[in-house]
Structure 1
Amino acid sequence: MADVAARADTPPRPTHIVLRRRPAEGPESEADRDLGVIMLALEERNEACKNIEVVLQIDRTNIALISQLPAEIICEIFQCLKATLEAYGSLTAWTTVTHVCRQWREIALDCPALWATLTDAIPPRWLEAMLIRSKTAPLSITFNHNPVTKPTPAVSVLAEALCETDRLREVSVSGGGLSKLLLPLKNPTPLLESVLIRVTPPSRIPQETSPLPEGFIQRVSPRLTHVDLYGWSPSFDSPVFSSLTRLRIDVGPDINYYFNTTPKGLVPEGDIFRAISRMPGLVELSLALPSPVIKQSPSRARIEPIRLAHLKALSIKTTCESCAQRGID
């Protein structure tokens, strides 16, 4: 017991904690090198599997029945889808279908007609790409030009496209300050089939002198069949108008209200009727004439009856006063 008591009275020995420094990392071990080689091999194998999967997907696509359709048929399907979606205001949504497979994308890129319809409602980056992809396909261009404000990037792209007169098929332009913008249309337009020009009243556009350039559509346009003009009527001396099947001219009867005065450059209706008599192929004719403030040609003679054997639609709009003055039955 005495021995136990003696040990109890003895103070405890201090506890020593030994800290050992971790040895510095030495050269890469052989196991680490082997692991790196294995990881690299796995990555290469994984990449090879992905490539095989792509090849298999292409093979599956190629043996599908729809893939056996000729490229021309698939392109026509794209055209139908494009027209359907555009009718609902989705101008670029049709391109989603071209992402289904590589073959469809290549077919779409190799079909210039798919990219040849350009409007200012399409983003500028799209317009630039579409203009390139359209290659030499005939162009259909639609936009509104506001001369008071700076042209939008989209309008700038379309104005450049308008200079390619040898490719123009359809042109639809509205707004003001069109004289300079439509200057290219004085040049030959061998593919031009349809023109729609809607001139903004000069009262809304300062310093507007001539809505359209002198000699507008007076050159070679052998295919021109549709002309729609609102707020302006050109000179019909050019033989290019003799091939028209549709003519729409709207210069009234409310045109004087919008213009505050009779717009300069309006052709007297007597001259318009005589020009119509030289358009035997007309199928549709629509005229909205202004109130009788336009002086008739000094040489105005009695207009002979106009015979239009192919005419199916006729509309003449004017005021009662104008009808009485002109003697329209």
Structure 2
Amino acid sequence: MTTPSGRRTRASIDAELELLEAQLQTLILRESDIQKVIDHAQRMKDALTLERLSTEKQKAELEAQKEPINWLPVELLIHIFSAYAVLGYSTDNPHPSVTVSHVCRKWRDIVLDAPDLWRRIVLRGFQRRAPFRVYLERSMDSPLDIDYTTMPRISTSEERYQVMKLAEICNPHFRRVESLSIQVKNAIAFLPFILIIKDHVKMLPRLRHLNVAISAQDPSFHDISSLLDADRIALTNDTVFIPSSSNLRRLKIEKIPLFNFPASLIANLVSLEIVYSPRSTTNHYFVKMSSLCRFLTLTPRLEELVLANTVPYFDVYPSSEAPDVSARENKEEMQPVNLLHLKSIDWTFPFCGDIHRLLSLINAPGLERLDLWVNDPPRRLDIDYVRGYTYTSSSYSLRNTVTYPSLRDLSVQYAGEEASSLSLRNFSFPALEKLAFTNIDTAARRPGGYMPSLPVFPRLESIFRDPRLPNLTHLTLSHFEIWTEVGRVEAMLGYMPLLTSLSLDACPGTCKLLNALQEQVVPATNRVQSARRGAVRGVKLCPRLEALSFWGCQDVDFATLLAVVYSRNRSASGFAEETTHKDESATPNGATQAIVTRGLRDENNGGASHRTEPAQMGRKIKPLRKLRRDPPELPGAPSAENVAAATRSMATVMIHAARRPAQIIYLRMTDCKLISEEEAIQFKSLGVVDVIWSGSDQ
């Protein structure tokens, strides 16, 4: 209904509202019913989804069980990932932990839950700081190993800024650092870390390994003279060892002045490596022997010393020697540094005149290993300027002998003939067991094939003060020519009766040495004893030899090597031989007359024939002539009486060992063109347990 004005009445509006309300209630009820259906369907869908995910997980687990890597427990995987995080680093893979986390979801979960996998942080420059912060966050409270290297092309100001930012971000985490390696290009960039190292008690309490280096060829210290001032102050004061609780065990220093490291930091060092170029006309800093000795005085627990291309300027001389007046100028007398725990010395590129001068200032009676890379000085070189001495000062014959009573392993690389004959003349190694000589002169090496230009290996009498090596068990010669003179090889091998392993690398004339090793000895007995039992056939030289190794020995042939093995492994091959005997006769020195036989290859029947010659067994060894002035011996050196008693005992033992030699059980042939693989296999039938053959690498 409407009013006269055309408007609807209230009653009509209320009636229509009632209809709409009823319709709305109906729609709400229908919507509620439909929502209930939808909720039920959603619950069914969610249940199906969960069931599907569970089934997919079971399927994935079954599929994963096909791969052996997934058989390993999580704890073992963490150990594997930890090793990969350390060993898997390369320029193409600078973040191995991230690489592992991207393999699969399971590995990612394992890596993210293992803070130790994020402890090693390798930085090449510091432009991108976000990854560094991620490592710090994920490592939580684990110890840190930080390795920073400046990019090669960077300005000095930019390098300083990056190193300062690195130190700033690391500041809250330095207490967790166990290993720190910082390599900068310019010396001034290292200043922030010098301040941190000097405050090591507070900032670096857990530090165990420290590697600091300046990569510039000739770093300048003009802008940071405080680094040089620390050295000057240390040289004017007496250096005294101060006990400390420092955890630092390994330190490597390259081109940074020595005394910028607190004495309390280095007090417990076990390993020290220093890298300083020898003095030159352009050096801003070079190491003096007086500085090195004072620095070593602060490291009494040192066990390993590495001098990498480092030769100090000799401004001191040992108190036990009296140099001439010209050599004494501008030099001071110094007592040797006592390093009673030192076991190993590695030294590269000294001249032969440097070796005795340095080692005579280090008292290390417990030294067990010495590795020297000796170089010949250039012809046009002012030795007095770069080394502090001349060849005319302090002749070798006037120097005291340095004895290392505990040295077991000696390795020497030579780059010239002079070095081989002068480097070790004033040293004594009474307990030497392993000896290696290597010729590193590249001019003498001819790539590929035979090398006739190699130098002849010197006589032991010209190398050592005492050529007798009664305890030597391992000998290695590399890139030397073996003598062809009669008796030279026999004389050398006669000095080492306990030799068990012989290795030759690219040594022409090896056959001459093998001929000496196959010489056999048949001790003479009376005719009655010869008839009752067969004579025992022995070898003349090195009766305890068990291992032979050859690399690139082009003149080693199958027949010669077979004769050596056959002469020592007869009992294994089951071969019975007839021997010729002579009546026993006395010799002027009381030794027993014997018969020496040389094993020869019979080309017709593949066997071995022998020729006999008389030889002396048990020959008395005459002592070497004593020097006019007996040099003082270091504590722990064997006395003359002990040496004589040991020599007599050794002679008795070796007489019995020569009659029953050890068998060759190891044989290695690499790039020996005269021996084929088929021939090498035949040695196994003679009792050789390990036979290794490989052809040329070319």
Classify the TM-score, shorter chain: 0.5 to 0.7
1:116 corresponds to which of 115, 119, 122: 119
Structure with the higher fraction of residues in strand conformation = 2
Distance across 2 between alignment mates of 1:212 and 1:171: 23
Following the alignment from structure 1 to structure 2, what is the Cα–Cα distance between the partners of residues 230 and 283? 17
Q: What is the number of equivalent residue pairs in this alignment?
A: 292
Counterpart position of 2:334: 302
Which among 136, 139, 158 is matched to residue 141 of structure 2?
136
Q: What's the Cα RMSD here?
A: 4.6
Q: Cα distance 1:197–1:99, how it changes in 2: closer, same or farther (>3 A)?
A: closer
CA distance in 1, matches of 2:289, 2:349: 12
2:279 aligned with 1:251, yes or no? no
CA displacement 1:75-114 (0-9 Å, x = unmatched)? 1111233334214641224534334554433322232221
Instruction: Provide, for residues 141-172 of structure 1, a one-character-per-residue CA deviation record: whole Å limited to 9, x for no partner.
Output: 12135642166779834652255332121111
Bigger relative CO (Cα 8 Å, ≥ 6 apart): 1
Secondary structure (helix, strand or coil) at the match of 1:149 reads helix
Matching residue of 1:228: 252
> Hey, what does 2:389 align to over in structure 1?
325
Cα distance change of structure 1 residues 220 and 108 upon mapping to structure 2, 3 Å threshold: farther
2:177 counterpart of 1:164:
no
Amino acid at match of 2:181: S
Partner of residue 225 from structure 2, selected from 186, 199, 209: 209
1:190 corresponds to which of 205, 221, 225: 205
Structure 1 residues 307 and 212, CA, compared in 2 at 3 Å: closer, same or farther? closer
Say whether 1:285 aligns with 2:287.
no
Match of 2:539 in 1: none
Q: Is the 8 A contact 1:220 1:240 kept in 2?
A: yes
TM-score, structure 2 length as denominator?
0.35
SS at match of 1:325: coil
Q: Distance in 2 between matches of 1:204 and 1:197?
A: 16
Deviates more, 1:201-210 or 1:77-86: 201-210
Identity of aligned residues (%): 15
Note the residue ranges of structure 1 that are not aligned, 5 or more in a row: 1-26
* 1:247–1:325 Cα change, 3 Å: same
User: Which residue type is aligned with residue 54 of structure 2?
Assistant: I
**In 1, are the aligned partners of 2:251 and 2:271 still within 8 Å (CA)?**
yes
In structure 1, the residue matched to 2:491 is none
1:313 aligns with 2:346: yes
1:105 partnered with 2:108: yes
SS class of match (1:91): coil
Q: Is the aligned partner of 1:241 residue 2:241?
A: no
Question: Which AA in structure 1 matches 2:226?
Answer: S
| Cα distance, 1:92–1:239 mapped onto 2, change above 3 Å | closer
Segment of structure 1 superposing worse, 196-205 or 237-246: 196-205
Which whole-Å CA distance do the structure 1 matches of 2:140 and 2:346 have between them?
37
Q: 1: CA distance between counterparts of 2:339 and 2:193? A: 37
Q: One-letter code of the match for 2:389?
A: Q
Mapped partners of 1:233, 1:213: distance in 2: 9
Distance 2:148 2:79 in 1: 26
Amino acid at match of 2:336: E
Name the stretch that deviates more: 44-53 or 226-235.
44-53
Shift of 1:196: 1.5
- Of 127-136 and 226-235, more deviation after overlay is shown by 226-235
| 3-state DSSP of counterpart to 2:389 | helix
Q: Secondary structure at the residue paired with 2:89?
A: helix
CA distance in 1: counterparts of 2:132 and 2:264, whole angstroms: 34
Residue 256 of structure 2 aligns to a residue in which SS?
A: coil
**Matched-pair contact (CA < 8 Å) for 1:182–1:213:** no
TM-score (norm 1): 0.66
- Match in the other structure for 1:56: 58
SS, match of residue 164 in structure 1: helix
C-alpha displacement at 1:128, in angstroms?
1.1
Segments of 5+ residues of structure 2 without an aligned counterpart are 1-26, 232-241, 317-329, 352-381, 397-698
* Residues 155-194 of structure 1 deviation map (CA, whole Å, 9 limit, x = unaligned): 8346522553321211111223211243222231332122
CA distance in 1, matches of 2:157, 2:315: 29
CA distance in 2 between counterparts of 1:228 and 1:171 reads: 11
1:31-73 per-residue CA deviation (whole Å, 9 max, x = no partner) reads xx98x959x8597577445533454357548978755644331
8 Å CA contact 1:190, 1:222 repeated in 2 = yes
User: CA–CA distance in 2 between the matches of 1:56 and 1:212?
Assistant: 68
Q: Distance in 1 between matches of 2:263 and 2:337?
A: 22
CA distance in 2, matches of 1:154, 1:242: 27
Deviations 1:14-34 (CA, angstroms, capped at 9, x unpaired): xxxxxxxxxxxxx9xx9xx98
Deviation at 1:248, TM superposition (A): 2.2
How far the C-alpha of 1:136 sits from its partner, in A, is 1.8
Q: Which amino acid in structure 2 is aligned with residue 304 of structure 1?
A: P
What is the identity, as a one-letter code, of the residue corresponding to 2:83?
C
What is the distance in 2 between the residues matched to 1:184 and 1:305? 29
Distance 1:224 1:237 in 2: 12
**What is the CA deviation profile of residues 204-235 of structure 1, one whole-angstrom value per residue up to 9, with x for unaligned ones?**
687333359979xx996622122111112322
Give the counterpart letter for 1:51 in structure 2: L
Alpha-carbon contact 2:180-2:209 (below 8 Å) kept: yes
Check conservation: 2:307, 2:348, Cα contact below 8 A. yes
| SS of match in other structure, 1:198 | strand
Q: Does 1:269 align with 2:289?
A: yes
For 1:73 and 1:109, the matched residues in 2 are separated by 16
- In the alignment, the residues of structure 1 paired with residue 91 and residue 140 of structure 2 have an alpha-carbon distance, to the nearest angstrom, of 27
